[in-house]
Amino acid sequence: MALTKTYIKSKKKFKVAFELPVEANPENKEIRLVGQFNNWNWEKAPVLKRNKKCFKTTLELSPGNTYEFRYLADQSFWINDWSADGYVRSPLSVEDNCVVDLLETPEEIKSSAQKRTRTKASKKSASDLTKVEGIGPKISEVLNEAGIHSYALLATSRKKDLESILVGAGKRYKMHDPTTWPKQAKLIVEGKTKALEKLQKELKGGKKK
């Protein structure tokens, strides 16, 4: 299941639906949504209500931010949302916090897409880098614009330079971790398909699970 976001123009807020499949809570314990939007406070956290397919709750959240969150069952154990927009390491545990990305409104996304429209010449020089786990079409475009047009160039890139490119592309890209990208790109260049598959099985979003 995915996070469902509906932008309410009159309120200038997103209505976000958070869902968990019933299989995630077979004992039917009380689950609440805790995160930065309620200061990780159980008492202030909304309860997820159960239907036939899932546990669900909704929140209205302001755009222009990313919000970290997790589900807490019976005040005793945590459950992650594996359809979240991203994941960041929690400062309080070895587990990752989930992230919902509300940095841009639909209008801003449309405007950003228009600004990033390429000329025919630049389209011809663009390269698809999405064989690397953790790189989607948008990040591939960002890397292309920064001059990384091939897996060979990506393979020789330094982590700090890749991080700088992501930061320069905007807030929504800062959550991504490029640590393994050069190694994956090198395996692609060298044609080591099995080694690449083995490495990528150990990754989620380009990071070690």
Pair 95, 135 in one domain: no
Pair 98, 24 in one domain: yes
pLDDT recorded at residue 209: 64
Domains in the chain, number = 2
Pair 15, 47 in one domain: yes
pTM strictly above 0.75 = no
- Per-residue pLDDT of 157-206, as tens digits, reads 999 999 999 988 888 888 889 999 999 999 999 999 999 999 988 887 66
Pair 12, 103 in one domain: yes
pLDDT at 125 > cutoff 60: no
**Alpha-carbon gap, residue 87 to 117, rounded angstroms:** 29
Domain encompassing residue 122: 116-208
pLDDT recorded at residue 70: 95
- Looking up residue 51, the CATH number of its domain turns out to be 2.60.40.10
Pair 96, 120 in one domain: no
Tokens of 20: 């968990």
Q: At 81, give phi and psi (nearest 5°).
A: -100, 110
**Alpha-carbon gap, residue 169 to 136, rounded angstroms:** 14
Q: What is the mean pLDDT of residues 59-82?
A: 93
Within 10 Å of residue 184's Cβ, how many Cβ atoms?
Answer: 24
**Alpha-carbon gap, residue 145 to 172, rounded angstroms:** 17
Pair 81, 122 in one domain: no
Pair 103, 123 in one domain: no
